């Protein structure tokens, strides 16, 4: 029987499906955070979170299409309800940072698995995600640093709100 030598390994298929779920969960979590900021009338923060939601969805789609291109089977799993109540912006960005760090760790594990299985195409595809995670963590860390400086200063918070409101879809694609 003819076998496609390029067929993706079962373990990698499972790990990619799990990563797709993780990206979609992250998207949903950011959406919950966006609605919190909207309710607080912090539309710039909300804008940043809506963009973040869109980005995570795009990450999931990138992996999903890749898995399909490799003849793999996509299995969509359930996603839990996101939180939409928080104490303050700082809490939200700290949660976001932990989420991004976990995502970096799981992308790295995926890469290590692809390396063990000598799957060069998957390694190549994952390289983009490895680079992206550096940016993702840095952007959240930068906002945390600004929030620390702002502390309880309302003018500072509104300044940051304006700044985050300027994040656009075009900027992401640049």
Residues that bind ligand FEO (CB under 6 A): 23, 26, 56, 59, 100, 103, 136
> In sequence order, what are the residues at sequence separation of 6 or more whose Cβ sits closer than 8 angstroms to the Cβ of residue 131?
none
Asked if 49 and 33 count as a contact pair (C-beta separation under 8 A), the reply is: yes
Q: How far is the CB of 171 from ligand FEO (least distance, A)?
A: 16
By beta-carbon distance, which residue lies closest to ligand FEO? 59
- Residue 108 Cβ, how far from ligand FEO at the closest point, in Å? 12
**DSSP 3-state assignment of 129?**
helix
Q: Which is nearer to ligand FEO, 29 or 161 (CB)?
A: 29
Residue nearer to ligand FEO on the CB measure, 26 or 157 = 26
**Cα-Cα-Cα-Cα dihedral sign, residues 73, 100, 98, 26:** negative
Determine the Cα–Cα distance for residues 56 and 50; give it in Å rounded to an integer. Answer: 10
- 147, 88 Cβ separation under 8 angstroms: no
Q: Which is nearer to ligand FEO, 75 or 131 (CB)?
A: 131
Three-state helix/strand/coil letters over 76-94: CCCCCCCCCCCCCHHHHHH
User: Taking the complex as a whole, how short is the minimal distance between the CB of residue 78 and ligand FEO, in angstroms?
Assistant: 19
Nearer CB in complex with ligand FEO: 51/70: 51
CA dist 83 and 85 (Å) reads 6
State the Cα torsion 94-96-101-105 to the nearest 10°.
150
CB of 41 vs ligand FEO, minimal distance in Å = 26
Q: How far is the CB of 26 from ligand FEO (least distance, A)?
A: 5
Comparison of 100 and 119: residue with beta carbon closer to ligand FEO: 100
């Amino acid at each position: 029987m003819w076998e496609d030598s390029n067929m993706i390994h079962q373990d990698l298929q499972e790990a990619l499906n799990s990563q797709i779920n993780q990206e979609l969960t992250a998207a949903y979590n950011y959406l919950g955070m966006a609605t919190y900021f909207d309710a607080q009338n912090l539309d710039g923060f909300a804008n940043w979170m809506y963009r973040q939601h869109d980005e995570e969805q795009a990450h999931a789609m990138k992996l999903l299409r890749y898995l399909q291109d490799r003849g793999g089977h996509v299995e969509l799993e359930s996603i839990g309800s996101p939180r939409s109540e928080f104490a303050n912006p700082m809490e939200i960005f700290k949660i976001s940072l932990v989420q991004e760090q976990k995502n970096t760790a799981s992308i790295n594990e995926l890469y290590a698995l692809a390396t063990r299985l000598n799957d060069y195409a998957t390694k190549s595809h994952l390289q983009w995600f490895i680079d992206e995670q550096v940016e993702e963590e840095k952007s959240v860390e930068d906002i945390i640093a600004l929030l620390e400086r702002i502390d309880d200063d309302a003018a500072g918070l509104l300044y940051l709100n304006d700044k985050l409101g300027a994040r656009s879809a075009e900027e992401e694609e640049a």
